[in-house]
Amino acid sequence: MGRFVNPDNSAFQVALNSKIYVDKTGLLEYTNSVLGTTEAYICNSRPRRFGKSYAANMLAAYYSKGCDSREMFSGFAIGKKEDFTTHLNKYDVIHIDIQWFLTNCDDIDNFVAFLTKNILNELKVIYPMVVTSEITTIPQALSNIREKTGNKFIVIIDEWDVIIRDEAAKEKVQEDYINFLRGMFKGVEPTKYIKLAYITGILPIKKEKTQSALNNFDEFTMLSAGAFASYIGFTDDEVKALCKNYNKDFEKVKRWYDGYILEEYQVYNPKAVVSVLLKGSFKSYWSETASYDAIVPLINMNYDGLKTSIIEMLSGDTIKVNTTTFRNDTVNFKSKDDVLTYLIHLGYIGYDEVKKSAFIPNEEIRQELKNAVESKRWNEFDSFQQESENLLDATIDMDSRKVAEQIEKIHSQYVSVIQYNNENSLSSVLTIAYLSSMQYYYKPIREMPSGRGFADFVYLPKPEYTDEYPALVVELKWNKNAKTAMQQIRDKKYTESLSDYTGNILMVGLNYDKSGKKHECIIEKYSKNK
């Protein structure tokens, strides 16, 4: 039993000792099914505090020869499988935490040498007759062990991408590290000594010019989670059960911390859920584990109207993203899409794989991103928000003339990157214009089924604001008139969807006349007695 080679199960025991632990041993069922196959090379990337290290520790505890974990796992889902003991504590395991090695390395330029020395020293103790002084690399050692004993290894690397993220300026260090990984896992020889390779971090594998660094790995990411969708992070059902146990309002927890779409699952950040259940306060726990300082300079680059896209998402809209050009590092940003893709991997925005679109997943992230853009390094956001507040006030005051003027002003001064071409572009501008509503209202419902059709926008106030802020039913028209929009709200009975809503409701009809380049608005209060 060593620190890094054939470790004990104490790291995973810490997770089990916690007040809240959700069974994620289904991951072991998957890894058992791919052991010794071409699918046994796995890169699993997730944002901070999604349970990546817990998963890595679980794998080490289950497979390592350095411990007896039968009792530890017998009560979980994996313990009920027929092959539970087939692979239990049967393998030589190398478990490497790159963050630990980076922190304890005195000379970053010799990082690979430092890591290699520590692992080789332990391999020499376990296999003294095989790992001789002539062997200077880990791949050499593993190859020799396999040749002499027949034993294969399970290699687990946690925070694999720390070098890529934190040492971006040190190209030689990155190159040495990528070459180290290539030597460990790429080619024919590693297939002889690797039973399973599992690496985890925030970023997917760095794309090299040749695209060949580690292309034998199956990647499971925030863009495409595949079979790993439910293994990292909490699912809807898991959070619902936890809320019941801790007497918490599930719908409120969902609004605050849900929203990441991974395959067919809605996924929550476990850190946030556990924090709200144990501490009780609905607030952002994101800033306790991550800083937005790194993303503000990226937003300020304003590639291709990036700031406008951020505002659109803060306003509750979704935007299209091309995720294919991002090189999976923190240096080679070439476009708005690259920055947005990076933010997806960091967890600051969500991603819909089917629609190829990005969005802000929940209230916690909305607050964090809002804090980022409100920092003094993006001063223009403050003035825009004031204009948006003026628009919302005018709407609530039923000042239709001022509403039309404010929308026109916001479009011309702040979001002119969106060119009016059709009703969809008008819709985008309206979404951005009502940014300030997100403080008082839920995310706007687009084309909400109601009555005999679909309302363009429905804004429902949060419970604490229902006395001051009415619900808004908004219909948009293009090259027609505001009266037509209002009549459609009435004729198609859009307000019927809010029949159970007890607060006030305003009906807002908005039109843009292309020839006159003017907005027109009508606002009426809905009477349930009519």
Give the model confidence (pLDDT) of 6-62 as tens digits.
999 999 999 999 999 999 999 999 999 999 999 999 999 999 889 999 999 999 999
Task: Look up the domain containing 415 and give its range.
Answer: 380-525
Assigned domain for 278 exists? yes
The pLDDT value recorded for residue 210 is 46
Of residues 298, 352, 294, the one with CA closest to residue 323: 352
The pLDDT value recorded for residue 375 is 65
Are 33 and 128 within one domain? yes
Q: Say yes or no to pLDDT of 152 above 90.
A: yes
Q: Tokens for 436?
A: 């300030």
- Check: CB of residue 495 under 8 Å from CB of residue 477: no
Assigned domain for 435 exists? yes
Residues 346 and 267: their CA atoms lie apart, in Å, by 15
Q: What are phi and psi of 521, to 5 degrees?
A: -140, 145
Are 80 and 174 within one domain? yes
Residue 69: give its domain's CATH number.
3.40.50
Q: Which of 68-77, 225-234, 339-348, 436-445 has the lowest mean pLDDT?
A: 436-445
Residues 150 and 133: their CA atoms lie apart, in Å, by 21
Are 115 and 207 within one domain? yes
Assigned domain for 4 exists? no
Give the number of domains in the chain.
Answer: 4
Among the candidates 228, 245, 275, a domain finishes at 228
pLDDT digits (tens, 9 = 90+) for 108-137: 999 999 999 999 999 999 999 999 989 999
Cα distances (angstroms) measured from residue 103 to each of 112, 119, 281: 13, 16, 33
Task: Tally helices (H) and strands (E) across the chain.
Answer: 21, 16
Are 155 and 63 within one domain? yes
Are 392 and 313 within one domain? no
Question: How would residue 445 be classed by pLDDT, with cut points 50, 70 and 90?
Answer: confident
The pLDDT value recorded for residue 26 is 96
Q: Say yes or no to pLDDT of 289 above 70.
A: no
pLDDT digits (tens, 9 = 90+) for 230-273: 999 999 999 999 999 999 999 999 999 999 999 999 999 999 99
Q: Say yes or no to pLDDT of 200 above 50.
A: yes
Among the candidates 378, 396, 418, a domain finishes at 378
pLDDT digits (tens, 9 = 90+) for 153-197: 999 999 999 998 887 668 899 889 999 999 999 999 999 999 999
Are 175 and 302 within one domain? no
